[in-house]
Homo-oligomer: A and B are copies of this chain.
Amino acid sequence: MAGRDPDDRKLVVLVRNDLKMTKGKIAAQVAHAAVNCAFASKKKDAVNFNAWYDSGQAKVVLRVDSERELFEFKAVAEALGITCSLITDAGRTQIEPGSITCLGIGPEKVSVLDKITGDLKML
């Protein structure tokens, strides 16, 4: 079952819960992150991409409470060589233009991602 074995792959998206976004807005931002991570990993990290793509493409959406946390997780992911994508909203609606809304990390092994984001709550 995707996401249950430590060798399975998943993609996590960390979303700022301190911004006032509707559920539709959040979904669009998470979709931006997922599409970016998928294409980036297909190009540069085919082993993780293929294992993820062929086994259900598990996606997990987690919450953070500040922009600062997104930058911290991004720095950790980059240091470990894991694909990631920080999303800046065009800001036409709901929130300030240029707001950073979420961060996609992966696809990568569940065991690796859980060491980084395992303490975060589901959104």
Contact = CB atoms under 8 A, between A and B. Distances in A.
Contacts of A123: 22-24, 27
Contact of A32 (B32, B57, B90): B57
Residue of A38, A61, A63, A123 contacting most chain B CB atoms (<10 Å): A61
Nearest to A123: B24
Kindly report how many copies of this chain are found in the complex they form together: 2
A86 interface: no
B34 A122 contact: no
Interface residues of A, number: 31
A76 interface: no
Contacts of A2: 90
B30 A122 contact: no
Nearest to A61: B24
Interface string A44-58: 000000000000110
A11 to B, nearest CB: 8
Given A23-B27, A27-B61, A32-B57, 11 more contacts: A1-B92, A13-B27, A15-B27, A22-B123, A24-B62, A28-B59, A31-B33, A31-B61, A34-B34, A35-B35, A56-B90
